[in-house]
Amino acid sequence: QSVLTQPPSVSAAPGQRVTISCSTGSTHIASDFVSWYQQLPGTAPKLLIYENDKRPSTIPDRFSGSKSGTSATLGITGLQTGDEADYYCGAWDNRLSAWVFGGGTKVTV
């Protein structure tokens, strides 16, 4: 069971918006920084969001991140079929002294 809790799946029609939650559930995730990764089928993960809400320059602004308290959220607007993928959140766990990933959320368009 992952330290970071994500819903197993979300779905929406093309053009709509989805949000994916990532709950730390504890204060052991002491860093304020959560990052998000997209893993398209059969490929390596790719960084989507870092430091809660920042996007690498190559990532379109349809993707957004936010964090409030012990929960982070990834938002995807204008859903496209090409967005069908697994999405993972990640953060440093001070209690484990290790990086931890959420269990992943499968997005279906």
Partner 1 sequence: QVQLQESGPGLVKPSETLTLTCSVSAGAIVSYYWSWIRQSPGKGLEWIGYVFYRRSATYNPSLQSRVYMSVDTSKNEFSLTMDSVTVADTGMYFCARWNANNLDSWGQGILVTVSS
Binding site for partner 1 (CB under 8 A): 2, 31, 33, 35, 37, 39, 43-47, 50-51, 56, 88, 90, 92, 96-104
Q: Which tokens hold the place of 46?
A: 């790719």
Minimum separation from the CB atom of position 57 to partner 1 (A): 10
Minimum separation from the CB atom of position 59 to partner 1 (A): 11
Minimum separation from the CB atom of position 70 to partner 1 (A): 17
Q: Which tokens hold the place of 9?
A: 């799946």
Which residues have C-beta within 8 Å of that of residue 3, sequence separation ≥ 6? 24, 25, 26, 28, 29, 93, 96, 100
